[in-house]
């Protein structure tokens, strides 16, 4: 039961996941350019710990919008789409 099986169970299609990833500590950030989502995989447990809702993009008449680049800072995820729009997501702090 590998990572791809887990991704399919979470409705992430194997061939839509980009090879462009970012590793921060034990967390691997990836995106699915066809489904317009990003996710986080814990590389120790091999569990997907987060999958975003589809990212809202502006569609154009002449092409489909795809996710193109991913960068991660300490508490933010930056995703650039094919329309050159930068989407910024901030991690929420867990409350005890």
- Structural domain range at position 14: 3-90
21 in any annotated domain: yes
**pLDDT tens digits, 49-93:** 888 898 888 877 777 888 889 999 988 999 999 889 999 999 887
d(CA 67, CA 45) in angstroms, rounded, equals 27
Domain count, the chain: 1
95 in any annotated domain: no
Res. 1 pLDDT band, cuts 50 70 90: very low
83 in any annotated domain: yes
42 in any annotated domain: yes
73 in any annotated domain: yes
Q: Rounded to two decimals, what is the model's pTM?
A: 0.75
96 in any annotated domain: no
Find the CATH number of the domain harbouring 42.
2.40.10.480
76 in any annotated domain: yes
CB contact at 8 A, 14 and 36 = no
């Amino acid at each position: 039961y590998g990572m791809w099986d887990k991704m399919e169970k979470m409705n992430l299609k194997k061939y839509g996941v980009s090879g462009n990833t970012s590793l921060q500590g034990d967390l691997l950030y990836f995106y699915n350019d066809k489904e317009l989502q990003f996710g986080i995989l814990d590389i120790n447990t091999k569990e997907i710990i987060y999958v975003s809702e589809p990212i809202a993009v502006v569609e154009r008449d002449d092409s489909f919008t795809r996710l193109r680049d991913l960068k991660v800072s300490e508490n933010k995820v930056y995703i650039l789409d094919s329309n050159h729009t930068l989407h910024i997501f901030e991690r929420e702090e867990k409350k005890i």
